[in-house]
Structures are given as C-alpha cells and as structure tokens.
C-alpha cells in the first residue's frame, strides 16, 4: 500500500515533467521565435551612412489619405501627387487644394502650364482644374510609361517596356525616339530590367535619362545623340547598387542630380559631373523593405519625396541652405 | 374469394440467405462508393506562398529531408536578365563575374549564362540548392523578385505536420491541392498554378 503511494507520486511527477517539456517545446519552437539565420543576407553594413555626409534634414511630412501613391511633381508652389485613380494638389503646408478623379490609374506625371499624365501606355493632357484637353494615341501593348518630362517645346515620354524615350510635340506628334541602340550616335541602348526608368531635363533643356541596368545617367542632344554620361556603380553610399538604380531621379538648380535608390533605400545628391555630393535621406529614415521614393524639387532647392510605404509626402531642406 | 394469396412464411434458411446477400450487396456498394470518392477527391500537399515568404533560412535547416525539399525556382518571365544580378552576386562583389568569391549562393547553385550583351540568364542547379533563400533575399531587395522558394514534390515526403511549416515565422506554408501543387510567381498572381516549376 505504501509502495503504491510512492509509485503514484513518482508517476505524477513524471507526468508533470513530461507536460513541462511538451509545453516548453510548444512555445520555444513556435513560429516567430527568434532563430538565428545562418544564411542571412546582411546588407546593414552598406546601409550605414556617416552623419557628416547627410546634408539635408526632414522638415515636414504630409500624410496622404490614399491607398496606392504612384508619383509626384512640383510646379508653381503646388505639389501634385498621383495616387489610385486621382490627382491631388497640395500646397507645401499640406493643405488640399484640389482632388481630381481620373479615368484610370496614372503611372507618371509632369507639369508645366498643363498637367501631363501617363496611363501605362498612353499620355493624357489636362488643364490644372483636371479637365482633359487631349488624349494621345497609345504606344502599344508593350509600352510601360514610367516617367514624363516637359520642356517649352516637347514632352519626353520614358517607356520602360520598349526601353526608349519618345520626344513628342504637345499634340502628341512623335519627333524622334531617343536612346535606341545606335553605334553611329554612340548610343548603347538603355538597359531597363524592371519598370524603373526615369527622365528629367537640365537647366538648358537637355534630356537626362537614367540607364538603371548600367547605374548610369545619360545626357542626349536635341538630335538624340549621346552628349555625355556618368556611371557610379558601388554598394557603398557614393554609388548605385543592385540591378536597377537609381530608380528615380530629378535635377536641382545648378544641374545637381537628386537620385533615389531601391534595395538600400537612400536619396542622394550628385554634381553635374556625377561626383557624389551627399545624402538627403539615409536608409534608416525609411521603413524596412521600402520602395524607392519618387522625387521632385521645389524652387528653394528643397527635395520633396513621395514615400510609397508610409503614404507621405516628405520635405527635406538643406542643412545650411547653401546647397 | 380464393384468389387472395396467402403469404408464405419465410423460413430461417431463406432469411439468412437474403440477409447475407443484402449485406454483401451493401458492402460492395459502400466499397465502390469509397473507392470512387478516393479516386475523385484531391489530396493536399505542402507549398510556400512566395508572397508571404520572408527568406528566413529555416527551410534549409528544418526539413526532414537532407538537403531540404525546398528549392529555389526561377520565374523567368519576371527576371530582368541583369548583368548586375542581386540574387547571384554578393553586394560587394569585386567584379561581375562567376568567380567563387563573387557568388552569393553558399553552394554555388546558380549557373550564370551569357545571353547577349548585357543580359545573362540564371539557372538553379537543384542538386546543389539547399533552399537557404539567400538569393531570394538578394533578388527581392535589388531585383524583380523572380527567384523564390518552392517545395519540390519529387523530393518532399509530405509529412502530416511539416517541420518547416511549424517554425515558419511568416506562416507562408499552405496545404494546396496535389493536382496543382506549385505557387509560381507570375502565374500565381493571375490565379493559376503550374504543375512543373522548371
């Protein structure tokens, strides 16, 4: 009788012990618990930026009530954001001036006296009240328009699908295709592995196009011949890394380039010869796994970013206002 | 008045015979029904949702099969055929070449083939791939995300409780019908799945 009592106690202790092991195993090995990844792809070392290289500071973040921001432009004191199926006009304080519902989901925007919108493979011209003025013929099923730039005479249309820039008159008439592989003109042809293909115009009105597969920015004459180019390929802060960078680009006064990168998300400034100047926004200022923000600039050399993940317009100004 | 049939009482032997026949008939019908159901019903297998996968590396170490039944697959229609492939080259590679020190894959399981200047094709050598997802992370961070992991059903033993699914931090493991066992990027986004990922 006494032995049976001892055996019962021993069995009870063993049952509790086994239950403890099962419970521990259940919780310790559960999903989401920290298990080191021996194969981790660690790029954190390259995402570090020396604080002395940061030459801009964030001064404002404007929240957008949209689901999918697509692009940004700035003209005459107004920030234009395209998102979902609408175009939003804000002032720099973030006050909503106008919201226009569009006929589809736009992919790119440029603004002069008129608003130029791209819808995947076609361009639509609007007035600033959002009324459609003209619709151009589409560029075919293969076309993916990722950027627009507008000068006094021409609209430039960047087509990532066909790896070309179309130079067009305001009525949509095609003047020439820029960037087609042409050894006579010294044009190697764009390498565009993904739909990141941005263009901008310099102070003199010359076209600059990103060649993302080569980590280059290429400058073209009025006749479509290559004028100059520069390349910065490096995983370090002063270069571009990955398959398709810079993802977005714009030009400041004095022909300084503002570039935005994916992968290691950062926004930087280069001079007109492609020499690295400094950082506008470092990787730690973006969410993990962020998209490269779209960029534009205002007349005060402030850099305006469209943060696709936070759904914000983020305004950065020079630290010493000497940039 | 004598037309009225008189019911003949069933004797015990007839009752047992009829009962046996009925039981046998019902059993056969039931068996046929079960067989038909089994033949028509779809079995389920484990698969990874590539859009949930966070490339944690656990697929390489937690599979009961060695090396893992999870392999990298390549959705060629999404690939940019880049010379500067983030899935193939280390971020700080000293050259865009096939030199071992420049390759990101710890087992050199990606074959780089020249297509035309400046494009290259990347092919997964499945016998070398351990499913560590290092290339997947590089491709997702810098490229189009065409490299992704899938459970290969010629290797998977289809455990009742998948040991990788148990530790998957993203709940990316799903049970999918055996008739369409792969969730390949590209096809998958349009709602289709393919039976052969290669």
Per-residue pLDDT reduced to its tens digit, A280-290:
999 999 998 89
Do the Cβ atoms of B167 and A38 come within 8 Å? no
Question: Which among B55, B91, B167 has CB closest to A29?
Answer: B167
> Which whole-number Å values give the CA distances from B75 to B78, B91, B148, B164, in the listed order?
6, 22, 8, 23
List all residues 6 or more positions away from A178 whose beta carbon is below 8 Å from its beta carbon.
A156, A164, A165, A166, A167, A207, A209, A220, A224
Q: How far is B131 from chain A, CA to nearest CA, in Å?
A: 10
**SS3 assignment for A101-169:** ECCCCCCEEEECCCEEEEECCEEEEECCCCCEEEECCCCCCCCCEEEEEECCCEEEEEECCCCEEEEEE
> Which whole-number Å values give the CA distances from B103 to A46, A323, B90, B130, B132, in the listed order?
17, 40, 6, 15, 14
Q: Greatest CA span in chain A, whole angstroms?
A: 107
User: Residue B92's pLDDT is what?
Assistant: 83
List all residues 6 or more positions away from A4 whose beta carbon is below 8 Å from its beta carbon.
none
The strands making up A115-119's β-sheet, listed across from edge to edge, are: A108-111, A115-119, A122-126, A132-135
Q: What chain B residue is nearest to A40 in terms of C-alpha separation?
A: B134
Do the Cβ atoms of B86 and A242 come within 8 Å? yes
Do the Cβ atoms of B82 and A244 come within 8 Å? yes
User: Residue A160's pLDDT is what?
Assistant: 95
Counted across chains A and B, CB pairs separated by less than 8 A come out at 88
CA angle B117, A265, A165 (to 5 degrees): 45
| Chain mean pLDDT for chain A | 91
Separation of alpha carbons A56 and A320, rounded Å: 8
Q: How far is A283 from chain B, CA to nearest CA, in Å?
A: 13
Do the Cβ atoms of B57 and A243 come within 8 Å? no
The two beta strands, A78-83 and A69-75, are antiparallel
Do the Cβ atoms of A243 and B144 come within 8 Å? yes
User: Residue B95's pLDDT is what?
Assistant: 85
- ipTM for the whole predicted complex goes beyond 0.95: no
pLDDT bracket for residue B187 (50, 70, 90): low
Separation of alpha carbons A201 and A64, rounded Å: 28
**pLDDT at residue A233 greater than cutoff 80:** yes
Separation of alpha carbons A10 and B114, rounded Å: 70
CB A266 within 8 A of CB A245: no
Separation of alpha carbons A193 and B80, rounded Å: 4
B191 touches chain A (CB under 8 A): no
Question: Which among B118, B134, B144 has CB closest to A39?
Answer: B134
Tell me the per-residue pLDDT of B48-91, one tens digit each, with 9 for 90 and over: 999 999 999 999 999 999 999 999 999 998 898 988 898 999 98
Do the Cβ atoms of A41 and B137 come within 8 Å? yes
Structure tokens at A248: 């977005």
Of B33 and B132, the one with more pLDDT: B132
User: Residue B191's pLDDT is what?
Assistant: 39
Task: Collect all residues of chain B within an 8 Å Cβ-Cβ radius of residue A263.
Answer: 86, 141-142
Interface with chain A: mutation pick from B141, B145, B186, highest number of A CBs within 10 Å: B141
Separation of alpha carbons A302 and A146, rounded Å: 23
DSSP 8-state code for residue B20: H
Average pLDDT over residues A232-236: 88
User: Residue B91's pLDDT is what?
Assistant: 85
Task: Collect all residues of chain B within an 8 Å Cβ-Cβ radius of residue A233.
Answer: 84
**pLDDT at residue B122 greater than cutoff 90:** yes
Tell me the per-residue pLDDT of A160-198, one tens digit each, with 9 for 90 and over: 999 999 999 999 999 999 999 888 877 889 999 889 999
Task: Collect all residues of chain A within an 8 Å Cβ-Cβ radius of residue B167.
Answer: 29-31, 33, 35
Do the Cβ atoms of B143 and A243 come within 8 Å? yes
pLDDT bracket for residue B190 (50, 70, 90): very low
Question: Which among B61, B133, B142 has CB closest to A241?
Answer: B142
Of A1-5, B78-82, B158-162, where does mean pLDDT reach its minimum? A1-5
DSSP 8-state code for residue A187: B
Structural domains in chain A, CATH included, are: 50-318 (2.120.10.30)
Q: How far is A261 from chain B, CA to nearest CA, in Å?
A: 9
Separation of alpha carbons A229 and A219, rounded Å: 6
Separation of alpha carbons B111 and B105, rounded Å: 10
Do the Cβ atoms of A233 and B84 come within 8 Å? yes
Place of tokens 């009025």: A222
Of A90 and A30, the one with more pLDDT: A90
Buried-exposed string B158-173: b where 16+ CB fall within 10 A, e elsewhere? eeeebebbebbbbebb
Q: 0.90 cut: is pTM over it?
A: no
CB B87 within 8 A of CB B110: yes
């Amino acid at each position: 009788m006494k032995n049976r009592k001892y055996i019962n106690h021993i069995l009870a202790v063993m049952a509790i012990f086994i239950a403890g092991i099962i419970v521990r195993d259940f919780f310790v090995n559960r999903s989401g618990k920290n298990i080191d990844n021996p194969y981790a792809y660690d790029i954190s070392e390259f995402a570090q930026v020396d604080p002395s290289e940061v030459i801009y500071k964030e001064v404002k973040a404007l929240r957008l009530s949209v689901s999918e921001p697509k692009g940004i432009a700035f003209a005459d004191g107004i920030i234009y954001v395209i998102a979902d199926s609408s175009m939003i006009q804000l002032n720099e304080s973030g006050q909503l001036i106008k919201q226009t519902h569009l006929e589809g989901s736009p992919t790119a925007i440029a603004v002069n006296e008129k608003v130029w919108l791209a819808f995947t493979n076609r361009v639509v011209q609007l007035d600033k009240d959002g009324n459609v003025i003209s619709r151009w013929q589409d560029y075919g099923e293969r076309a993916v328009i990722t950027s627009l730039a507008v000068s006094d005479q021409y609209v430039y249309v960047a087509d990532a699908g066909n790896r070309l820039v179309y130079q067009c008159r305001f009525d949509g008439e095609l003047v020439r295709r820029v960037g087609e592989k042409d050894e006579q003109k010294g044009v190697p042809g764009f390498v565009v592995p993904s739909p990141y293909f941005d263009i901008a115009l310099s102070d003199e009105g010359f076209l600059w196009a990103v060649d993302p597969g080569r980590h280059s920015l290429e400058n073209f004459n009025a006749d479509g011949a290559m004028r100059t180019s520069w390349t910065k390929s490096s995983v370090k802060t002063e270069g571009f890394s990955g398959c398709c960078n810079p993802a977005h680009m714009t030009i400041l006064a004095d022909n300084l380039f503002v570039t935005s990168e994916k992968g290691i998300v950062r926004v930087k400034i280069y001079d007109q010869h492609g020499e690295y100047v400094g950082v506008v926004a470092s990787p730690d200022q973006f969410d993990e796994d962020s998209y490269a923000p779209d960029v534009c600039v205002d007349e005060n050399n402030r850099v305006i970013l469209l943060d696709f993940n936070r759904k914000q317009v983020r305004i950065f100004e020079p630290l010493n206002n000497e940039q | 008045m004598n037309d009225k049939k008189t019911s003949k009482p069933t004797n015990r032997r007839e009752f047992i015979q009829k009962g046996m026949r009925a039981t046998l008939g019902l059993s056969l019908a039931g068996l046929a029904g079960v067989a038909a159901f089994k033949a028509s019903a779809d079995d389920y297998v484990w698969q990874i949702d590539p859009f949930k996968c966070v490339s944690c590396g656990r697929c390489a170490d937690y599979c009961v099969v060695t090396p893992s039944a999870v392999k990298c697959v390549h959705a060629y229609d999404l690939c940019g055929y880049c010379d500067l492939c983030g899935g193939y080259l280390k971020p700080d590679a000293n050259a865009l070449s096939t030199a071992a020190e420049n390759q990101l894959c710890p087992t050199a399981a990606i074959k780089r083939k020249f297509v035309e200047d400046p494009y290259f094709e990347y092919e997964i050598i499945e016998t070398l791939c351990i499913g560590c997802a290092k290339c997947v992370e590089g491709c997702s961070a810098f490229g189009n995300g065409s490299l992704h992991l899938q459970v290969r059903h010629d290797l998977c033993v289809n455990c009742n409780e998948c040991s990788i699914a148990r530790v998957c931090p993203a709940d990316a493991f799903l049970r999918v019908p055996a008739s369409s066992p792969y969730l390949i990027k590209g096809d998958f986004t349009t709602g289709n799945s393919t039976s052969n990922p290669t």
